[in-house]
Structure 1
Amino acid sequence: MPKSAVETLFDLIDQTTTLIEQNLETTYLDALTESIANIADGGRVKVEDNLPDAQTVAQLETIYATVKLNQFDAETIRQALQLATLKGLRQVKVEPNKQMTPDAIGYLVAYLAEVFGGADQIKTVLDPVIGTGNLLATVMNHIQNLTGNKLQGFGVDNDDSLLELAGISSELQGLDTTLFHQDAIEPLMVNPVDIAVADLPIGFYPIDERAADFETHAASGHSYAHHLLIEQTMHYVKDGGFGFFLVPNVILETDEAKQLVKWITKHVYLQGLLSLPVNLFKTKEGQKAILVLQKQGAGAQQAKQILLGEFPNSNDQKAFAAYLQQIRTWHKENIN
């Protein structure tokens, strides 16, 4: 059985990454960043302090010569890079908050962005916790494929290794992204965007003095980072624009939710909260949802009826397709 384009490209990336990993005695993830940087540079191998050695350079250049990126579309490149990145993340046992957003979830965020944001109206996208860049790339590729319009993406992360990987990955896909290495809770150098997407890290934010500047901060003790990030992100969304956040399924039911709900009532419209398919999670307690917020202003109004529910099992294709159509119908009836 012939290999798919994704498998073919992944094999090339994996071979070169493994060669670099072994010769430089580094991690697979760092070697991956090095390898795709070489690909982005036309197959020229970066050598520092005689590493990689001459034999490895020759092997790499031979493999790179077979990589013709113009044979692959952006989504194929993203999927191949995703497979390689997942391999690297498994090796270093990265913490849960830095795990890559799975495609099954990324595609749903992209679909909701298309329906709520209006694909033709979306020109700029922000991800304040971009990580490896997979979620932002999934959304940008989806909207660009639908409309033919070139989007501008912005990403923020405090992990320089993941950010470097996101940057080179975006370059290989031909995406126009500007990335910032910083704490996303600090002021951002980003003009208001049409939509924002984020797979939010769950946990407490350690700097209470900075959290105190936010309406969603806790009355005492550390504040939830995901609450602060929601408030921060929507500050950088245009009036009437949307934010799509991956959050704990019970985000509005916790004791700490009072300040968040108060802020939501004051500044944005809660237009939807959709639980993701339970079969995508190991436990019911670990289940996540997509929170859909719309910034007030520019004629935006609270939906007549908030979109609440749970996606059906993702393996039931018929029920799943029907549910996606129900969301589109709901939007026409409830969002002006």
Structure 2
Amino acid sequence: MANEHMESLYQTLMQAADLLHQQVKTSYLEAATEAGEDLTAGTINVQDGVPNQETVAKLTALFKPVKITDFSAEEVRQALQLILVKAIRLDAIEPNKQVTPDAMAELATFVATTFLPQPAALTVFDPAAGTGNLLFAVMNQLKAALAVPVTGVGVDNDETLLAFAGMSSQLQQLDVALYHQDALGPLAATDVDLVVSDLPVGYYPLDERAKQFATAAKSGHSYAHHLMIEQSLRALKDGGLGLFFVPSTVFQSEEAAGLTAWLTSSAHFQGLLNLPQSLFANPAAQKSLLILQKPGAHTKQAKQVLLGSFPELSDRKAFSEFIDSVRTWAAQNLA
């Protein structure tokens, strides 16, 4: 790894998670969460004699040389991201709950800085936060790019993933509020500046609750990602921006007509950008970045919707040219 400083933290957390995984007999993700919580607390949590004294001694020795304030928030997040990759493999975590690649966070951050004027502060919301990796990456990058305070709000219905997110936010010393709930229930966030989410794809099982949304299916189960897009727009302040990673076929499904009708009446549909195929092992799983803006006093529907494909990130010349073309588009369509 290029960052040996970050790698040292990763190695410490991984060894601690390995020890706890053997002792506590939980999932690797839960063991990793406990390791991070122990590091934050500065003491080893023991319940009913577990972990045993020998393991407590090993964990104490592991954590003793680590001063978490010596690491940047991004170094902490990247170390935890590597832990997550191991947890996904060992725990066989389902695809909808896996880690969003950092490249997607970087692309979202670039689009956010293109659309949002220089703010005094920002609040970022992810209604499908999971372990918080995407939310925290975007928060860290926006803080670095704009030099303003950035707060976060995350929602997820998976308590185990959210516990990891809570530990991660504490280690990174981020200003984040996390809620364990159904993202389609009463809103946990209102008047946010930015929504960024890698939306789960599939059907939402609660048909009666789905009927509260204009994007609900006329019959049968509704697409969860359609409903969550609509819910997210409700959370945005006027003029706020919604960035959603969705299937590239989002407007080709049987329910696309309902989504399109709602978008036309309720949001500025500003862009749809295909992500590089190299980010996805299966071409059928390719995603696009959907760019929506909640109408406000200083916003308008772009004369020409931003359409295209992000080039491969490894092609620096093509990527630089693409960035320039987006900035030119913004000057012509958003000014």
Tell me which interval the TM-score lies in, with the shorter structure as reference length. Answer: over 0.9
Name the residue aligned to 1:126: 125
AA paired with 2:40?
A: A
Given that 1:119 and 1:146 are in contact with CA atoms closer than 8 Å, whether structure 2 keeps it comes out as no
Counterpart CA distance in 2 for 1:71 and 1:251 is: 43
| AA aligned opposite 1:273 | L
1:87-140 Cα deviation digits (max 9, x unpaired): 111111111111111111121112111211235355111100000000100110
- Amino acid corresponding to residue 176 of structure 2 in structure 1: T
Partner in structure 2 of residue 4 of structure 1:
4
Q: Is the 8 A contact 2:184 2:231 kept in 1?
A: yes
CA contact (8 A) 2:155 2:188 kept: no
Aligned residues: 335
Amino acid of the structure 1 residue aligned with 2:155: V
Paired position in structure 2 for 1:252: 251
5 Å-filtered alignment, 1:1-336, equals 4-41=4-41, 43-118=42-117, 120=119, 122-336=121-335
Alpha-carbon distance change, 122 to 291 in structure 1, aligned in 2, over 3 angstroms: farther
1:6 is paired with a residue whose SS is helix
- Structure 1 residue identity aligned to 2:123: T
Instruction: Identify unmatched segments of 5+ residues in structure 2.
Output: none
Answer with 265-274 or 183-192: which moved more: 183-192
Q: SS of the counterpart of 1:245?
A: strand
Question: Separation in 2 of the partners of 1:327 and 1:118?
Answer: 15
Could you tell me how far apart the structure 1 residues matched to 2:302 and 2:56 are?
59
The CA distance in 2 between the partners of 1:81 and 1:329, in whole Å, is 37
Q: Is the 8 A contact 1:279 1:314 kept in 2?
A: no
Report the Cα offset of residue 191 of structure 1.
2.3
Residue 193 of structure 2 contacts residue 241 of structure 2 at CA under 8 Å; is this kept in 1? yes
Write the distance in 2 (CA, Å) between the matches of 1:221 and 1:88: 35
Which deviates more from structure 2 when the two are superposed, residues 119-128 or residues 45-54?
Answer: 119-128
1:24 is matched by which residue type in structure 2? Answer: V
CA contact (8 A) 2:16 2:59 kept: yes
Distance 2:7 2:56 in 1: 23
Tell me if structure 2 keeps the 8 A contact 1:234–1:243: yes
Are the counterparts in 2 of residues 122 and 195 from structure 1 also a CA contact under 8 Å? Answer: no
Give the Cα separation in 2 of the matches to 1:222 and 1:73.
Answer: 44
Amino acid at match of 2:103: A
Long gaps (5+) in structure 1: none
Q: Give how far 1:148 is off.
A: 2.6
Other structure's SS at 1:120 match? coil
Q: Distance in 2 between matches of 1:2 and 1:215?
A: 48
CA apart distance, 1:40: 1.1
Q: 1:252 to 1:119 in 2, by over 3 A?
A: farther
Aligned-residue offset at 1:188: 1.3
SS in 1 for 2:239: strand
Q: CA deviation at 1:19?
A: 0.8
After superposition, what is the alpha-carbon deviation per residue over 1:248-269, rounded to whole angstroms, capped at 9, x for unaligned?
Answer: 0011122211111111011101
Residues of 2 paired with 1:2 and 1:86: CA distance? 18
Superposed CA deviations along residues 29-73 of structure 1, whole A, max 9, x for unmatched, are 1110000001111x2111111111111111101111111112111
Partner deviation per Cα, 1:206-260 (whole Å, 9 max, x = no partner): 1110001100000111100000000001100011110000000011122211111
CA distance in 1, matches of 2:254, 2:50: 54
The TM-score normalised by the length of structure 1 is 0.96
RMSD, aligned α-carbons: 1.4
Residue type of the alignment partner of 1:318: K
Normalised to the residue count of structure 2, the TM-score between the two structures is: 0.97
Distance 1:61 1:286 in 2: 43
Structure 2 distance, partners of 1:277, 1:164, is: 31
Of 17-26 and 212-221, deviating more is 17-26
State the percentage of identical aligned residues: 46
Q: Distance in 2 between matches of 1:282 and 1:65?
A: 40
